[in-house]
A and B are shown apart, each in its own frame.
Chain A
């Protein structure tokens, strides 16, 4: 089945220790998104790729970076995680061929910072 996969599902890192979260998709969608979601809050868009074009949200901290080496994969790098970065990180995809750009979400990665 076509899907969005995130690894790992749970990640524990130490304060200040770089961490990378990965997302892959078999949907062949050209748009990929990274969201941060904290408890009882709306998903917050960090950035997205439209094809190879990177789009950063204005309020995304510089501590967060992303890479998209090919259509299928996208990575979220947190250079120096702080306690406030503990959250669920959601990867989503959509297609410009879909009039509504319906988003398909991966299962998420729960990040804990100790």
Chain B
């Protein structure tokens, strides 16, 4: 059984702060890791993906991956109220599978 664990939150941060969202996964064979943003009542939107151990930066977003610890995180710098959403972690591509396993997501609230 593949499991993805995320703290459901809500994680509340002030505007301009760094938001840190964490995810652990059980499937050691997971190869790639996707982060989706989901606004309330909307569908998920892909914002970042990472394959290799270490950091990957894209604008205000940084994904961090540690396969040995089965841990992936998403940092959002200079958080804005518009970043308030649920962030879903989705590891996949284990053993050639193309089906991601979604976590339940962490709710982020950025307050002015």
Main secondary structure of the interface of B (DSSP, over half): loop
- Is B93 in contact with A100, judged by CB distance below 8 angstroms? yes
B56 interface residue, CB < 8 Å from A?
no
Residues of A contacting B93 with CB < 8 Å? 100-101
Complex CA gap A15/B29 in Å reads 42
Give which listed residue, A43, A96, A108, contacts B98 with CB less than 8 A: A96
Residues of B contacting A108 with CB < 8 Å? 42-43
Indicate whether A42 sits within 8 Å of B104 (C-beta atoms), given known contacts A94-B98, A102-B49.
yes
Complex CA gap A90/B45 in Å reads 12
Complex CA gap A103/B102 in Å reads 12
9 nearest A-B pairs in the assembled complex, by CB-CB distance: A101-B98, A105-B43, A42-B102, A42-B104, A108-B43, A43-B102, A100-B32, A105-B44, A107-B43
Nearest-CB distance from A66 to chain B (Å)?
16
Nearest-CB distance from A32 to chain B (Å)?
12
Number of B residues, CB within 8 Å of A: 21
Main secondary structure of the interface of A (DSSP, over half): loop
Q: Which of A57-114 contact B (CB under 8 A)?
A: 88, 90, 94, 96, 100-108, 110
